[in-house]
Amino acid sequence: MEVPSIGEKFPEIEVETTHGRIKLPDYFQGKWFVLFSHPADFTPVCTTEFVAFSMRYEDFKKLNAELIGLSVDSTFSHIKWIEWIKDKLGVEVPFPIIADPQGFVARKLGMLHAQSATHTVRAVFIVDPDGIIRAILYYPQELGRNLDEILRIVKGLQVNKKYGVALPANWPNNEIVGEHAIIPPASTIQEARERPKQYECFDWWFCHKEIPKEEAEEARKFLERAAKPGKLA
């Protein structure tokens, strides 16, 4: 089964979730969505991730982005687990979780662990409002995800889509161009000659420009929060 790639349309799939049966990507039409898989319910690292996703749900919604989880556990297991999270940790999981006990969705999206046909890795698919896969991340079972970085990625991809620019390493705190955006490469000799007249450039192939500061500030708050230790009271 061929696994979808960045830039391709997210495959049409009907799935059973804790919010009922839904069809992807149509269910999130007009919105960004983040589909993430976890190895198993009632496991420590996955529990910390679901709490983190839930506590940042409103941040995702402000970015016009929704969340949806997935594992090869049953709907019954998902429901019991999120009840446990609410009862023991005081956090309500507000987004749907896909039940994939046969592993159909996991196989279709390349989420299964190489050493186990019954556990998914920590995969993340970020999909835009047109249903196009914009980013794919994979984490090992042993390492929980940084949720603020995933928020930064969604924000950065939205800036790319809105302004037609690329973003540098560690944006919006890049070591060379700060919060500026990178201009895509020139495609003609004439365009290359004009670049230094239009933008700030180190050379015609490395030009950058300022974008509205509020775009960078929104991304920066995620980085600042990620740098601060914190836990549930």
Listing from the earlier edge strand, what are the strands of the sheet with 206-209?
181-182, 206-209, 200-203
Q: How many CA atoms lie within 13 A of 107 on its CB side?
A: 8
Q: How far is the CA of 174 from the CAs of 64, 95, 186, in angstroms? A: 25, 33, 22
**Which residues have C-beta within 8 Å of that of residue 161, sequence separation ≥ 6?**
128
CA distance 7 to 152: 19
The closest alpha carbon to 184, from 203, 155, 208, belongs to 208
Q: Coil, strand, or helix at residue 175?
A: coil
Q: Coil, strand, or helix at residue 78?
A: helix
First-residue to last-residue Cα distance in the chain = 45
Catalytic residue among 46, 70, 106, 157: 46
Catalytic site residue 207? no
The closest alpha carbon to 161, from 189, 135, 187, belongs to 135
Active site positions, annotated: 46
